[in-house]
């Protein structure tokens, strides 16, 4: 999709990673009997995953394949849920889960920064689409919390200190293993709670777009995937929406918490703030596809240049690391596993107690 200069399509969510999935096979009016699953939608393979098949589903006409490959990828995910083959079902869940996080994390994050297009009008459209329709959150609060506070005051106590991710009432195992499952349920509830503080016009728009996104997902599961009951469709929604919730929560705490924190009246210069208070993880293919380089392996670069596109963050990475090393500034890097072990062993210190303030003598 769209990152090619001069194409005129105002969106860049491309990722130079794995090859795109094979295209959906064109449906045949009279499918030949034979072993093995097919990803083509046809009455012959229509089944359910979690519930009874809807009555009359086998009489529906074949749906035409979509021409755009990213949409075909999504379409393949919905169609796979019609299969009786467990492997095809699992593939469908994985495809839909990865697509969901690509739209909600990578898409919303870049759209919130205005990094998808230079057009202000399209920036606003993508922001509303990715944050409100896809992610069930308020675009205004997303921008305020992430761009203004988190980026403007990275690791400054009481402002951009990632404290929204702290839940001191939970123990380390509940937080690291169970709490992520609440993210898909809590996100729209938090958004609705915050609507009380915005003007009526924005609140009605946000509520309408969140409802549209949730209903569209539900409708696709009933009408394309062939789910026969609301309960089974809702269970599938929850499963795909929580597929990558664990790495999403973990990465959000790994990259700032446990690093130096600053006081608001003695915060260091921006270069020191980002160099000391941000950490990169290594390249992790599936997570980079779903969350973006700017959240996984290029978080330092993203904090230094928040309006750069995801691919540009990757390109400037060697220059940034060389520059920081030449200036004898930290360039924090650690593996997912090492960070996970560190947080489990020092959970109280990082996630429950108030972090100590780091004073940089001669640098403030
Ligand atoms: Zn950001």
Domain boundaries, the chain: 66-243, 248-352
Whether the pLDDT of residue 283 is over 90: the answer is yes
pLDDT, mean of residues 10-16:
41
Q: Give the separation between CA 335 and CA 222, rounded to whole angstroms.
A: 40
Give pLDDT, residue 354: 75
Give the range among 47-56, 133-142, 313-322 with minimum mean pLDDT: 47-56
- CA 95 to centroid of ligand 1, rounded, Å: 25
Kindly report the three-state secondary structure assignment for every residue of 209-242.
Answer: HHHHHHHHHHHHHHHCCCECCHHHHHHHHHHHHC
- CA 147 to centroid of ligand 1, rounded, Å: 6
Instruction: Find the length of the chain.
Output: 364
pLDDT, mean of residues 32-39:
36
Which tens digits make up the pLDDT trace of 210-243? 999 999 999 999 999 989 899 999 999 999 999 9
Percent of the chain with pLDDT over 70: 79
Which tens digits make up the pLDDT trace of 292-342? 999 999 999 999 999 999 999 999 999 999 999 999 999 999 999 999 999
- CA 249 to centroid of ligand 1, rounded, Å: 15
pTM confidence score:
0.78
Percent of the chain with pLDDT over 90: 62
- CA 154 to centroid of ligand 1, rounded, Å: 10
- CA 110 to centroid of ligand 1, rounded, Å: 7
- CA 143 to centroid of ligand 1, rounded, Å: 9
- CA 295 to centroid of ligand 1, rounded, Å: 7
- CA 242 to centroid of ligand 1, rounded, Å: 21
Which tens digits make up the pLDDT trace of 249-276? 999 999 999 899 998 888 888 899 999 9
- CA 174 to centroid of ligand 1, rounded, Å: 27
Whether the pLDDT of residue 169 is over 80: the answer is yes
67 — pLDDT class (breaks 50, 70, 90): very low
Give pLDDT, residue 356: 73
Which tens digits make up the pLDDT trace of 178-198? 999 999 999 999 999 988 888
Q: What is the DSSP letter of 50?
A: S
Residues paired with 160 in a beta bridge: 154
pLDDT, mean of residues 86-92:
93
- CA 179 to centroid of ligand 1, rounded, Å: 23
- The two three-digit tokens of residue 263, written as one number: 């006081």
Burial of 165: CB neighbours in 10 Å, binned 0-12, 13-18, 19+: middle
Closest C-alpha among 7, 312, 298, 244 to residue 102: 244
- CA 113 to centroid of ligand 1, rounded, Å: 7
- CA 144 to centroid of ligand 1, rounded, Å: 11
């Amino acid at each position: 999709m769209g990152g090619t200069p001069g194409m005129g399509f105002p969106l860049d969510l491309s990722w130079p990673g794995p090859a795109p999935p094979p295209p959906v096979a064109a449906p045949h009016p009279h499918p030949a009997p034979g072993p093995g699953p097919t990803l083509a939608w046809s009455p012959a393979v229509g089944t359910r995953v979690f519930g009874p098949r809807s009555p009359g589903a086998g009489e529906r006409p074949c749906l035409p394949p979509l021409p755009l490959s990213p949409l075909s990828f999504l379409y393949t995910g919905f169609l796979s849920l019609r299969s009786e083959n467990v492997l095809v079902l699992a593939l469908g869940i994985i495809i839909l889960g990865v697509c969901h996080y690509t739209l909600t994390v990578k898409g919303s994050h870049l759209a919130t920064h205005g990094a998808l297009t230079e057009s202000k009008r399209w920036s606003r459209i993508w922001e509303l689409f990715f944050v409100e329709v896809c992610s069930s959150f308020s675009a205004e609060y997303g921008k305020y919390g992430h761009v203004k506070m988190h980026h403007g005051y990275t690791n400054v106590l009481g402002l951009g200190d990632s404290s929204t991710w702290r839940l001191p009432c939970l123990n380390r195992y509940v937080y690291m293993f169970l709490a992520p499952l609440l993210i898909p349920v809590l996100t729209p509830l938090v958004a609705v709670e915050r609507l009380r503080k915005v003007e009526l016009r924005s609140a009605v728009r946000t509520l309408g777009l969140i409802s549209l996104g949730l209903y569209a997902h539900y409708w696709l599961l009933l009408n394309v995937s062939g789910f026969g009951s609301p309960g089974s469709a809702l269970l599938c929604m929850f499963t795909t929406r929580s597929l990558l919730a664990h790495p999403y929560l973990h990465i959000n705490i790994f990259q700032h918490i446990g690093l130096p924190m600053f006081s608001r009246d003695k915060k260091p210069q921006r270069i020191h703030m980002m160099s000391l208070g941000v950490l990169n993880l290594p390249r992790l293919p599936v997570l980079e596809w779903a969350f973006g380089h700017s959240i996984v392996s290029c978080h330092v670069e993203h904090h230094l240049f928040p309006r750069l596109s995801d691919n540009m963050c990757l390109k400037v990475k060697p220059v940034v690391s060389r520059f920081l090393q030449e200036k004898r500034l930290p360039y924090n890097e650690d593996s997912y596993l090492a960070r996970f072990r560190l947080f489990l062993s020092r959970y109280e210190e990082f996630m429950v107690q108030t972090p100590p303030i780091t004073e940089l003598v001669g640098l403030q």
